[in-house]
Amino acid sequence: MKCEKCMAGIALDAKFCPNCGEKVQMFNEGMKGNEVSIEWLSNLFKQLGYEVDVNSNGDSFFVKHKESYDFDVNLNTSLKVITIGSNFSMKQKNISDINKLQNLIAKANSMSCLGIFSLSDNNKVLNITTHINLTELIIERDIVAYLDIYEKNIIHIMDNLGIMEM
């Protein structure tokens, strides 16, 4: 999470920014899972410092952050789920690299507790997708914490396996 005033990194449980002393937005607003809207969700991402581009269909948006991954975010109220996905371009040199990459993707899926790793576009794009179930009560801080853990999980697995070096 970033301080809104100085953009320094701050812990999720911090009450004040360790850099400038600014009081931290606590993200404790709760709402019933069946009342979550694309507006509420996109505003949460804006509070986290993401640029938000809502799609014309009104049930998804794309977010960018200069210090984080870009995400496609989709709200499916009938399935009661928020889907978050990231795409990374891959650079394979030859057919043996493709086989190695596919084996690494299988290993990544066995290691991941949150994301599902897959390949698309003829093995040239790595997709990582996760889901947040809309429970009876959703608290902003829970989504913020989930995103933080999800990103750390992705980074750890990709670094550990050397996936992005392919």
pLDDT digits over 38-67, tens only?
998 998 888 888 899 999 888 899 999 877
Q: Which CATH number fits domain 30-165: 3.40.50.970, 3.40.50.620, 3.30.1460.70, 3.30.1490.20?
A: 3.30.1460.70
What pLDDT score was predicted for residue 65? 84
CB 30 within 8 A of CB 18: no
pLDDT tens profile 92-146: 666 678 888 889 999 999 999 889 999 998 888 899 999 999 888 888 888 888 8
Residue 33, SS3 per DSSP? helix
Per the DSSP assignment, residues forming a β-bridge with 60 are 74
Any idea where the domains of the chain sit in the sequence? 30-165
Q: How far is CA 74 from the centre of its chain?
A: 11
Top-confidence residue, 43 or 24:
43
What is the per-residue pLDDT for 26?
A: 62
Question: Can you give the pLDDT at residue 67?
Answer: 78
Q: What band does 27 get if pLDDT is binned at 50, 70 and 90?
A: low
- In the chain the first and final C-alpha atoms are separated, in Å, by 30
pTM: 0.77
Contact at 8 Å (CB) between 102 and 123? Answer: yes
Question: Cα–Cα distance between 166 and 100 in angstroms, integer?
Answer: 9
Taking the C-alpha atoms of residue 86 and residue 49, their distance in angstroms, rounded to an integer, is 17
